[in-house]
């Protein structure tokens, strides 16, 4: 798969001959490699779709000299989406987003709702209020973590992140890429992730919050903030579907990839979610 660029954004794609498009946005500190199971299973689940796997700004191959921010990222990715829409002569794209990718997708929805078809959000981190950056708990934690990890070997750090994300050592080489992120970038990304709040303008926009093309997902093995964030967002998007993945963790798209791919494909096709023993549908 060829690495491509649009401005500072790097991406890979499959099925570019198809018009119906799915844009995949990854979680914080990782990059497009987390969609490896979706790429491998393309013919089984996503054939007929144009799938784009994007590196967020300041992640992976999307190199930026500016500090990371959710606002800046949403603007840059909106420009990318408009580029895709213009080139393919389509009206909208579907977005599948994990973690901070979901925060960026919500910002895009708020500012440009007409360019998003279906929106699927998993593993959200939404705060009740924003901290000042100088007094941020996230900054304090990131500083303490960086000071601790600086004393450890690269192997120790990589294995620690594998445990944190709950994935197996077969992903060691991919996870090792996290070592390329500078301490300052890591702190800024952590601050942005843990201090994201839903825009007030979105809460007041009935045309957006009454949409029924939004799927919100959380796993029971994610931290409690992800559960709370999903439930709180469902209270805003009243017509959205809310799904709980039993024993699902943040990167369930890798661990439970067949389940993940089935849910994503079916929701995008016809908003259908088939109940089974691994999920609870909490509409």
Positive or negative, the Cα torsion across 176, 177, 182, 188?
negative
Question: For 202-220, how does the pLDDT look when each residue is reduced to its tens digit (9 = 90+)?
Answer: 999 999 999 999 999 999 9
Asked if residues 246 and 279 have their Cβ atoms less than 8 Å apart, the reply is yes
Specify the pLDDT at position 139. Answer: 65
**Residue 134: partners with Cβ closer than 8 Å, 6 or more residues away:** none
Specify the pLDDT at position 143. Answer: 65
Backbone angles phi, psi at 112, to 5 degrees: -140, 60
Nearest one of 56, 129, 117 to 90, comparing CA atoms: 117
Backbone angles phi, psi at 106, to 5 degrees: -65, -40
Question: For 8-29, how does the pLDDT look when each residue is reduced to its tens digit (9 = 90+)?
Answer: 999 999 999 999 999 999 999 9
Question: For 42-91, how does the pLDDT look when each residue is reduced to its tens digit (9 = 90+)?
Answer: 999 999 999 999 999 999 999 998 999 999 999 999 999 999 999 999 99
Specify the pLDDT at position 142. Answer: 64
Instruction: Give residue for tokens 């000071």.
Output: 147
**Residue 10: partners with Cβ closer than 8 Å, 6 or more residues away:** 3, 4, 32, 54, 55, 60, 61, 62, 63
Specify the pLDDT at position 149. Answer: 65
Asked if residues 201 and 209 have their Cβ atoms less than 8 Å apart, the reply is no
pLDDT of 187 above 80: yes
What 8-state DSSP symbol labels residue 3? -
Specify the pLDDT at position 196. Answer: 96
Specify the pLDDT at position 186. Answer: 86
Residues in the chain, overall count = 283
What 8-state DSSP symbol labels residue 59? B
Asked if residues 129 and 150 have their Cβ atoms less than 8 Å apart, the reply is no
**Residue 73: partners with Cβ closer than 8 Å, 6 or more residues away:** 56, 57, 104
Stated as kind and residue range, the H or E segment containing 110 is helix 100-111
Backbone angles phi, psi at 97, to 5 degrees: -140, 140
Question: For 117-176, how does the pLDDT look when each residue is reduced to its tens digit (9 = 90+)?
Answer: 999 999 999 998 877 766 666 666 666 666 666 678 889 889 988 998 889 999 999 999
Specify the pLDDT at position 177. Answer: 92
pLDDT of 283 above 80: no
What is the average per-residue pLDDT within 93-106? 98
Residue 94 has a CB neighbour count (10 Å cut-off) of 21
Question: For 251-269, how does the pLDDT look when each residue is reduced to its tens digit (9 = 90+)?
Answer: 999 999 999 999 999 999 9
């Amino acid at each position: 798969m060829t690495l491509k660029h649009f401005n500072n954004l790097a991406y890979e794609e499959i099925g570019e001959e198809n018009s119906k498009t799915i844009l995949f946005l990854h979680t914080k500190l990782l990059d497009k490699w987390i969609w490896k199971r979706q790429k491998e299973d393309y013919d089984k689940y996503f054939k007929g779709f144009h799938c784009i796997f994007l590196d967020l700004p300041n992640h992976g191959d999307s190199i930026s000299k500016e500090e990371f921010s959710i606002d800046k990222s949403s603007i840059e990715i909106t420009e990318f989406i408009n580029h895709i829409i213009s080139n393919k002569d389509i009206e909208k794209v579907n977005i599948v987003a994990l973690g901070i990718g979901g925060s960026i997708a919500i910002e895009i929805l708020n500012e440009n709702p007409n360019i998003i078809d279906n929106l699927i959000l998993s593993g959200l981190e939404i705060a009740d209020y924003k901290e000042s950056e100088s007094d941020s708990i996230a900054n304090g934690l990131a500083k303490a973590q960086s000071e601790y990890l600086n004393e450890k070997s690269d192997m120790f750090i990589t294995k620690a992140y594998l445990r944190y994300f709950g994935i197996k050592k077969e992903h060691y080489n991919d996870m090792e890429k996290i070592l390329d992120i500078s301490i300052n970038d890591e702190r800024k990304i952590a601050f942005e992730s843990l201090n994201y709040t839903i825009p007030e303008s979105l809460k007041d926009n009935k045309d957006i919050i009454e949409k029924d093309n939004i799927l919100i997902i959380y796993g029971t093995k994610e931290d409690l903030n992800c559960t709370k964030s999903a439930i709180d967002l469902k209270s805003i998007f009243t017509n959205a579907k809310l799904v709980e993945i039993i024993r699902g963790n943040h990167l369930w798209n890798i661990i439970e990839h067949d389940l993940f791919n089935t849910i994503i494909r079916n929701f995008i096709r016809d908003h259908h979610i088939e109940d089974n023993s691994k999920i609870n549908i909490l509409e």
